[in-house]
Amino acid sequence: MITDNFDDINDIELKEIWTMIVKKMKNEGEEICPNSSSFYKTLDGIECSLRKKNGDLIGICYRENDRSGGYRWIIEKLS
């Protein structure tokens, strides 16, 4: 599992978050299918499952609080 992260800017839209996730995934980002991937709410906030066109899971993203009172997204790539 490879972990990457980026800071969440206040009032940013999910479309922009999606673009940043795909960009951070680098080569794996080309395999991500938006139609089989999804954002969903959890008790802790928002998460995203990143899936290939065939439904295979590539990674999971989740938002967490950072120490400065903002948020950051953590990307856990599955190998």
Task: Provide the CA 70 distance to its chain's centre, in angstroms.
Answer: 16
Among 5-9, 35-39, 75-79, the least confident range: 5-9
pLDDT tens digits along 33-49: 999 999 988 887 789 99
Residue 8 CA to residue 32 CA, distance in Å, equals: 21
pLDDT at 8 over 70: no
pLDDT at 60: 94
pLDDT at 12: 65
Q: Is 6 helix (H, G, I), strand (E, B) or coil?
A: strand
Q: Supply φ then ψ for residue 18, to 5 degrees.
A: -55, -45
Instruction: Return the structure tokens found at 48.
Output: 């995203």
pLDDT at 30: 86
